[in-house]
Amino acid sequence: MDENLPPPLSARFKESFAYPTIKERLPSILAKIADTTFRNKVQIKEKYGEDGCEDLKSIAGCVSKLRNEIMTGKKLIPIQDKRSDVKTWNDYLDEMTVNEGSTPQWFVSPWLYVECYMYRRVQEAVENCSVLRQYDVFMEQKRQSLIDSDQPTLILMNYLFTVTNDIQSGKSLDIQKLFKQLIQVSLWGNKCDLSISGGADNAQKSCPLDQVNTLCDFILRDDLDKIWQYVRDKAPCRVDIVLDNAGFELVTDLCLAEFLTSSKLASQIYFHAKSFPWFVSDVTQSDFDFTFQHFMQSNSLATSQFVTQWKNRLDSGTWKFVVNDFWTSPFPYCEMRKHSPDLYSELSNSSLLIFKGDLNYRKLVGDRSWPPSTDFDTSLQGFSPAPLCTLRTLKADVVTGLCEGKAETIEKQDKNWMINGQWAVIEFAEGMKK
């Protein structure tokens, strides 16, 4: 490790959010998985027979064992399944063992690594099934979260329908104002996170457009003007959105993409998603498809027209949905060029990368205990395939790019400001000019 870098966040620091996460939140998530598999027994038996029931029993047994390993602070063990990324994970375990001088442990090793490892172990339980190898242990929660957000989704869709119709009819609109509004809608959609809630209901309930006005004072750093000027000067350009949560947040991301496309600010949109279930509610191909299926059942004219239009955009290549195993790896993004040069090269074709959410932010800055006033570009540690911005509500005790003294001021207002998802940042790093 570079001795000039601050140490990684870890549960070894009991005052950090890493400690209650490892001690309570992760075991709670695993307990919920075991409970869900038990409740799904009847429908799985109807569809897959006894083999399905045995697989469910196996998954429940594996996650219960994993839960015990975490709660008793055991050493991490190699992954054992046939997925193509096994060598990557096990080589990294060996590397961490050398770096730390002993085998990594839950309450000792870097938080980012052990938390990612937990979700990979959950996937290991699924990979070793005989008939349920496509099973998503978080599917029920994600789908219910989307359904529970139907009302705010309808409000947003109807609003966007009016906006895009006005654009197409040539009506004079304040595109800059709309750009900023829909970026903020996408930002606050990140509050709907099933990982931070331990899998408990965290659906969107309030009007997403009202939130833009009521929550603007909670944005600790706001680079929206810089982002707008950059996109305006580059338009029409390729924009890549590195997705975070399924459910309502994905809805806000789709609406942002539609606005960027309709307004001709973007010529192409790439959506980057996880290759298997991750951090409870992160978007997979199945979640993306279900969102479209759910919209197709809507009685809303706006929703039905958008889903048809979005399918056409995907079919034509104007929009692309892509997955890559790097997003479900243990690495911070400053190591992308080393571990996934093809992805780094692909991202360099973009004009703007939009990273959604808390985990993407943690990986961007290496999940280290940076002083909050550290320059955002510095905390990226050389990661710069293209100009990037991050839309993130704070749910982990790491943030950079704040003005000197800002953190101390907010701390006096809200001692949990770094972890409760109530505060946010919109940060831009132009990096290498293109």
In angstroms, rounded to a whole number, what is the distance separating the alpha carbons of residues 127 and 146?
Answer: 26
pLDDT of residue 197: 41
For the chain, the residue count is 434
Pair of tokens at residue 386: 């293209």
Q: What is the pLDDT of residue 103?
A: 98
> What is the location of CATH 1.20.930.60 in the chain?
18-127
Q: In the prediction, which pLDDT does 434 show?
A: 43
Amino acid at 433: K
Q: So what's the pLDDT on residue 38?
A: 87
The reported pLDDT for the residue numbered 209 is 85
Q: Give 139-429's CATH code, choosing from 1.10.10.10, 3.40.50.10880, 3.90.79.10, 3.90.1150.10.
A: 3.40.50.10880
Q: What angle separates helix 248-262 from helix 150-168, to the nearest 10 degrees?
A: 0
- Per residue in 269-312, pLDDT tens? 999 999 999 999 999 999 999 999 999 999 999 999 999 999 99
Residue reference for tokens 């600790």:
220
Cα–Cα–Cα angle for 11, 330, 384, nearest 5°? Answer: 110
How crowded is residue 5: how many other Cβ atoms within 10 Å of its Cβ?
A: 13
Closest CA to 248 of 189, 321, 296: 189
Supply the angle between the helices 41-71 and 111-127 in degrees, to the nearest 10.
150
Q: Which residues of the chain have pLDDT under 70?
A: 1-3, 192-206, 432-434
Fold of 18-127: Transcription Elongation Factor S-II; Chain A (1.20.930)
Task: Return residue ranges of the chain for CATH 3.40.50.10880.
Answer: 139-429
φ/ψ of 7, rounded to 5, equals -70, 155
